[in-house]
Amino acid sequence: MDHLVFVFGTLKDGFPNFGTNRGLRVPGSFKTRVAYPLYLVGDRYSPWLIDAPGSGFRVTGELYRADVEAITAMDTLERVSELDGYHRTILELEGVDSPGMVSAYAYLKQPQQLAPSEIRAGPLGEYKHEHSALYQRRAA
C-alpha cells in the first residue's frame, strides 16, 4: 500500500538526499495548511520543520507516493528511531497550483529539540537550492 509523503528539504527532487527518496512524485507543489517554523539548524545547516503549528510560514514542498520500502529508507535517513531524530507525523496540505486538501506524512522535529543558538536561518517558507548549498551530510 502506498502512502503520501510531504518532503520540504533535502529529500526534494534535485536536493542532497533525493537519492534516498524512492517515491513517485505527485505533480505540482504543495503547502502546509497551517504555518510551521522551518529553520536551518546547526553546523550542518539541516532543514528542521518544527512541530509547532501556527508559527512560521506555510511551508512549500513536494508530495510523493511511497511504498513501505521507500518510507523505511526515509525513516532511516531521518533517524526516526533515535531520540534526536525526526518523527513522522501526518500534516494537512493544500495544492499550490490546484485546489484541494490532502493528508500526508512529513518528518518534523519536536520543539524541545531546537536550541535557539543552533538556528542558522529562518523561519523559512521554502527550502531552496541556496539553502541546500550550505548543507553538510552527516559524517559516516
Q: Is the pTM of this model over 0.75?
A: yes
What CATH number has the domain bearing residue 78?
3.10.490.10
Cell readout for 118 is 543552533
Overall domain count for the chain? 1
Task: State residue 137's pLDDT score.
Answer: 85
CA distance 40 to 128: 11
Q: Is position 82 annotated as part of the catalytic site?
A: no
Has residue 84 been placed in a domain? Answer: yes
Has residue 140 been placed in a domain? Answer: no
Query: CB-hemisphere CA count at 13 Å for 104?
Result: 28
Which amino acid type is present at position 39? Y
CA distance 113 to 8: 19
The yes-or-no verdict on residue 50 having pLDDT over 70 is yes
**Enclosing domain of residue 83:** 3-132
The yes-or-no verdict on residue 1 having pLDDT over 70 is no
Has residue 138 been placed in a domain? Answer: no
The answer to whether 107 and 78 are in contact (CB under 8 A) is yes
Q: Of the residues 78, 94, 118, 126, which is catalytic?
A: 78
State pLDDT tens for residues 73-123: 999 999 999 999 999 999 999 999 887 899 999 999 999 999 999 999 999
State pLDDT tens for residues 18-41: 999 999 999 999 999 999 999 999
The yes-or-no verdict on residue 132 having pLDDT over 70 is yes
Has residue 77 been placed in a domain? Answer: yes
Question: What's 71-119 look like in SS3?
Answer: HHHHHHHCCCCCCCCCEEEEEEEEECCCCCEEEEEEEEECHHHCCHHHE
The answer to whether 88 and 51 are in contact (CB under 8 A) is no
